[in-house]
């Protein structure tokens, strides 16, 4: 009888040890898995932070392009107001409006520091339609054309980067509704480009 009791006690102790080892192993395994998950989450978080940092660096690089003009300061201004910002035009010409929808547009050209085949036309061209600056064009230099990406050329006018659509097969690109303007047009001439901002659809 005592031998049977002793055997049962030993058996219960054995089962107790087995259960203790089982639950201890389970606990250590789950703890290890938690640490692994935590490490993965930390790595993922670091990757997200790295991506955000890189994005911020790109943004800083984009905004480092120094504007030649600030189109928002010029748009909608009359000739005298524009002269206060850009100085006297280097050349002027009346375009005429065959449809007689608007008063005769006046094209003024400013800042004769543009070295290209169109030197006489100046760096900045502004069409005064209905007496206001409603079409504003900036011509890039050859260096700007080589260095600055096409979608970043708008920064030369103090505008953010834009998503461009190509018009047909010709190197004519445009974006609508940019910073309150009707359209931004970029014409690519191979060695230089022009960026035109149109304030309203009726001046297209």
CB 163 within 8 A of CB 173: no
Residue 26 banded pLDDT, cuts 50, 70, 90: low
Put simply, whether the predicted model's pTM sits higher than 0.85 gets the answer no
CB 145 within 8 A of CB 169: no
Give the percent of the chain with pLDDT over 70: 58
Residue 76 banded pLDDT, cuts 50, 70, 90: very high
Q: Which range, 59-68, 70-79, 90-99, has the best average confidence (pLDDT)?
A: 70-79
Rg (CA), the chain: 35
Beta bridge partners of 128: 106, 133
Of the candidates 61, 49, 71, 80, the one whose C-alpha atom is nearest the C-alpha of residue 179 is 71
Residue 58 banded pLDDT, cuts 50, 70, 90: very low
| Residue pLDDT, tens place only, 115-171 | 554 555 678 999 999 999 999 999 988 888 889 998 899 999 999 988 888 877 678
Domain layout of the chain by residue ranges: 1-64, 71-203
Q: Could you tell me how many helices (H) and strands (E) the chain has, helices first?
A: 4, 8
Cα 141 to the center of its chain, rounded Å: 22
pLDDT reported for residue 34: 57
DSSP state for residue 104 in the 8-state scheme: P
Q: How far is CA 204 from CA 11, 52, 66, 102, 201, in A?
A: 95, 39, 27, 12, 5
Residue 61 banded pLDDT, cuts 50, 70, 90: very low
pLDDT reported for residue 19: 63
Of the candidates 87, 82, 125, the one whose C-alpha atom is nearest the C-alpha of residue 107 is 125
Average pLDDT over residues 14-39: 60
């Amino acid at each position: 009888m005592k031998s049977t009791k002793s055997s049962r006690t030993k058996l219960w102790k054995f089962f107790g040890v087995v259960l203790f080892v089982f639950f201890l192993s389970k606990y250590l395994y789950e703890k290890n898995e938690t640490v692994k998950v935590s490490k993965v989450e930390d790595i993922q978080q670091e990757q997200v932070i790295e991506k955000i940092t890189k994005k911020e660096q790109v943004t800083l690089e984009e905004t480092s392009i120094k504007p030649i003009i600030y189109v928002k300061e010029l748009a909608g201004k009359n000739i005298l107001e524009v002269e206060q910002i850009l100085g006297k035009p280097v050349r002027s010409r009346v375009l005429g409006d065959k449809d007689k929808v608007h008063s005769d547009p006046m094209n003024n050209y400013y800042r004769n520091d543009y070295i290209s085949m169109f030197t006489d036309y100046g760096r900045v061209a502004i069409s005064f339609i209905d007496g206001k600056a409603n079409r504003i064009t900036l011509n890039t230099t050859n260096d700007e054309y080589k260095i600055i990406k096409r979608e970043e050329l708008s920064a030369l006018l103090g505008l953010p980067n834009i998503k461009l659509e190509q018009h047909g097969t010709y190197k004519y690109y445009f974006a609508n509704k940019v910073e309150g303007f009707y359209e931004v047009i970029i014409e690519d001439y191979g060695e230089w480009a022009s960026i035109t901002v149109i304030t309203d659809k009726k001046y297209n």
